[in-house]
Amino acid sequence: MSVALRDAWTTVVPDMKGRHGPLPPLMLALTVVTGLVDAFSYLLLGHVFVANMTGNVVFLGFAIVGAAGFSLAAPLVALGTFAVGALLGGRVAHRARHRGRLLHHALLVETFLILVAYVIAQTVGAPYAGVARYGLIALLGLALGVQNAASRALAVPDLTTTVLTLTITGIASDSRAAGGSGGKGGRRTLSAVAMLVGALVGAATALHGTPAVPLLIATVLLAAVTVAAFKLARSDGAWTAPL
């Protein structure tokens, strides 16, 4: 088995006695959630991301110079609510003394927020405008801010659940072709694929099905990860200790 394939395998089926225990596959699932909600927000809420804040800063610049199709308000709401969500997630993280409980508590908040967003999106129906549009941006921004603060605190290598720029850079710069070991390529590739799958499913269901379905899928996936985290919160394995 190649180094990259072994790395991918140990990400999906991790060593429960390792430093990060069962966390890697859960981080992959949250990366899929990111793809789902960003597909929904960008395609149906008007050129705005609720997870990838780099894009919103760029969109804000476009809006300031009057580029068509970009607004000042949408990225500002996303940035502001994401920051508030990250603050809430940070408070959970700094009080936690058990990584499984940290993840569980953060996911309870995130799952609730995305469930509420789904109910609103399903009730109002597309196209989303006015209060409904900004309410959805705010709820999803809060939710993904919490998720990102939790993933930052958990610090599972190469599984940030959101940022792929450094991940893709690492795939190339640490590859054997570049003179590196290529040892982390499997996990990094899985992270990129997870985001792609979430975005693909989110876009397909939003554009060719019921618009709110990406949020429903995200809620179901989050609920499953929350249940897993609840069970893991009882663990006393070495991986549970804060970094």
pLDDT at 183: 64
pLDDT at 132: 96
Q: Is the CB of residue 218 less than 8 Å from the CB of residue 29? A: no
Domain range for 121 is 3-236
pLDDT at 20: 94
Question: Is residue 170 situated within a structural domain?
Answer: yes
pLDDT exceeds 90 at position 43: yes
Percent of the chain with pLDDT over 70: 98
Q: What are the φ and ψ backbone dihedral angles of 53, each rounded to 5 degrees?
A: -75, -20
- Across the chain, mean pLDDT equals 93
Question: Is residue 26 situated within a structural domain?
Answer: yes
Question: Is residue 243 situated within a structural domain?
Answer: no
pLDDT at 90: 95
Question: Is residue 242 situated within a structural domain?
Answer: no
Residue 45 pLDDT level (bands cut at 50, 70, 90)? very high
- pTM listed for this prediction: 0.94
pLDDT digits (tens, 9 = 90+) for 65-107: 999 989 999 999 999 999 999 999 999 999 999 999 999 999 9
135: domain CATH number is 1.20.1250
How many folded domains does the chain comprise?
1
Q: What are the φ and ψ backbone dihedral angles of 21, each rounded to 5 degrees?
A: 45, -125
Question: Is residue 63 situated within a structural domain?
Answer: yes
Question: Is residue 33 situated within a structural domain?
Answer: yes
Q: Is the CB of residue 186 less than 8 Å from the CB of residue 11? A: yes
For the chain, report the end-to-end CA distance as a whole number of angstroms.
31
Q: How many CB atoms lie within 10 A of CB 82?
A: 28
pLDDT exceeds 60 at position 1: no
Better-scored residue on pLDDT, 162 or 49 = 49
